A and B are shown apart, each in its own frame.
Chain A
């Protein structure tokens, strides 16, 4: 699984980081979300999925596949 944050949409709620701190970091400059694992290791997939789901701006997308 790979996750991607659309920085034009991200508003820096930080909910993804709350849900999945090992997948999403917050930028020190503007609080925008940064994906820190790519691809997402299988043991973090559930957390990453929660991060995707919990984004109030729908700024995060997930791609599942061979990765």
Chain B
């Protein structure tokens, strides 16, 4: 059996490792456009930025992969997929045949006209990106972050911790509103403001000023924020361009069933940022860009390839280190759902909140309260009702 894995980052590498651990004797080829196996990304927006001695940690070393008898094809981009012939084209020529294919091609930072990377304008995805940003932050550069989502909020927190002047520009009314919803997003926003982050919310960016060096960021109302560097936190786009002519369903990701198998063909699976899979818990296709999702999906794909049919229906989990505390989100915070604080409160340093609607518990959000979050996380996984969550907290329904 020949298994080809496209993407030597977390999802792809973990898939390969799980296959070998399960005793697979398949011929495994791991392909990536980059010349090295990717590094672990969560630290890149956190301690890697603030610690000049921190080195990126590869997801696995080439030596470890060779030891597992994995053929590494690095520096070659996958260019197309032919599901009829069961082969993948590689940049520079040549094709790889497969019996099973794992699409783990990840995602790339989104850009916009006028908001593209150049010297002094950073995106954050790879170790090289992080090293460039770190150098700027170490020089205490005035930093403007475009986008108040996950990456923007985390970088702002780290940069403030290093004593940099930081501004976040975000067209939505609160930070991390997609991840946290309006109520908890507002709580996080107030904390960033208290930490000295200059927040420009509810306004867009007109462009970046400065010819060679960055001089500032022009807002939609014409005002100018002086800056030495800019960080673009505009989200990411799944890497599916190489699948454009494969005849598969592409919809902001590769559309898969609940087993993470691509719809409309045989033997093609997806894992990580690129997978838009049917989530039985939610009754819709979802795509999740978090670390834990990539790790768990890799295990599910490996199990399915090894002949143990496995469905992936875990609620998403993500953590973020901000303002000296750990933020944890389990499940999905829907904007319309109720929010109740079940431990601490919005003005306290540590809290746990639950969100719910339609009679069911939808998410648990903790700030600096890892242990207190756990009982609610358990309820969530079990599919508890909203009433059960309130009952656990002793709140009358």
Residues of A within 8 A of B (CB): 11-15, 17-18, 21, 26-28, 31, 49-50, 53-54, 56
B26 within 8 A of A: no
Chain B 147-203 residues near chain A, CB threshold 8 A: none
Interface-centre pick from B21, B328, B374, B381 (highest chain A CB count, 10 A): B374
**B299 touches which of A11, A27, A31, A50 (Cβ 8 Å):** A50
Chain B 285-329 residues near chain A, CB threshold 8 A: 291-292, 295-296, 299, 317, 319, 326, 328
With A26-B371, A31-B371 known as contacts, the answer to whether A15 contacts B292 (CB < 8 A) is yes
Residues of B within 8 A of A (CB): 14, 18, 21, 42, 291-292, 295-296, 299, 317, 319, 326, 328, 330, 370-371, 373-374, 377-378, 381
- Flag if B371 contacts A13 (CB, 8 Å): no
Residues of A close to B326: CB separation below 8 A = 11-13
Residues of A close to B378: CB separation below 8 A = 21
- Flag if B370 contacts A12 (CB, 8 Å): yes
Number of residue pairs across A and B with beta carbons under 8 Å?
43
Chain A interface SS verdict (over half) = loop
**B319 touches which of A49, A53, A56 (Cβ 8 Å):** A56
- Flag if B317 contacts A53 (CB, 8 Å): no
- Flag if A54 contacts B295 (CB, 8 Å): yes
- Flag if A14 contacts B14 (CB, 8 Å): no
Residues of A close to B373: CB separation below 8 A = 14
Please, which residue of chain B has its CB at the minimum distance from the CB of A26?
B371
Please, which residue of chain B has its CB at the minimum distance from the CB of A17?
B374
Please, which residue of chain A has its CB at the minimum distance from the CB of B17?
A53
Residues of B close to A54: CB separation below 8 A = 292, 295-296
- Flag if B370 contacts A31 (CB, 8 Å): yes
**3 tightest A-B contacts by CB?**
A31-B370, A31-B371, A14-B370
Residues of B close to A21: CB separation below 8 A = 378
CA distance A28 to B372 in the complex (A): 10
- Flag if A13 contacts B319 (CB, 8 Å): yes
Q: How far is the CB of B349 from chain A (nearest CB, A)?
A: 15
- Flag if B292 contacts A26 (CB, 8 Å): no
Please, which residue of chain B has its CB at the minimum distance from the CB of A18?
B377
CA distance A11 to B370 in the complex (A): 10
Residues of B close to A50: CB separation below 8 A = 296, 299
**A53 touches which of B295, B328, B330, B370 (Cβ 8 Å):** B295
Residues of A close to B295: CB separation below 8 A = 53-54
**B42 touches which of A28, A31, A49, A56 (Cβ 8 Å):** A56
With A18-B317, A56-B42 known as contacts, the answer to whether A13 contacts B370 (CB < 8 A) is yes
Q: How far is the CB of A12 from chain B (nearest CB, A)?
A: 5
- Flag if B299 contacts A26 (CB, 8 Å): no
